Amino acid sequence: MRIFLKILAAPFVVVLTISWAVMVFLFCWAETILKVLSGIVLLICIVMLIAGQTSDGIVFGVIAFLISPVGVPALAKWLIDKLGDLNATLKCFITS
């Protein structure tokens, strides 16, 4: 039964290894782009707040926070790390 489970897990390891590597690569590029974009949106937020458009400035501030490295990208990094952990666990299962 254990051999059958190892054979069944092997394709998942291959798919997870390839998809995890692609996700890490894409995440690195996306994170860099979002950092720059977050700074631009934050500057727009500050200009709007100075100009007296408070509600629009707050909206842009929230958007700047969400696309900053502590917003949605942090959640994506956590998910990618969990996929990497799952991949490592499956690899250990296959080799044991």
pTM more than 0.75: yes
Q: What is the DSSP code (8-state) at residue 52?
A: T
Cα 89 to Cα 60: distance, rounded to the nearest angstrom: 41
**pLDDT of res. 4:** 86
**pLDDT of res. 32:** 92
Task: Please tell me whether residue 71 adopts helix, strand or coil conformation.
Answer: coil
Residue ranges covered by each domain of the chain: 2-95
pLDDT along the chain (96 residues), means of 10: 85 92 94 94 94 92 92 93 93 87
**pLDDT of res. 2:** 79
Nearest to 45 by CA among 68, 66, 67, 62: 62
Alpha helices in the chain (DSSP H): 2-51, 54-67, 72-95
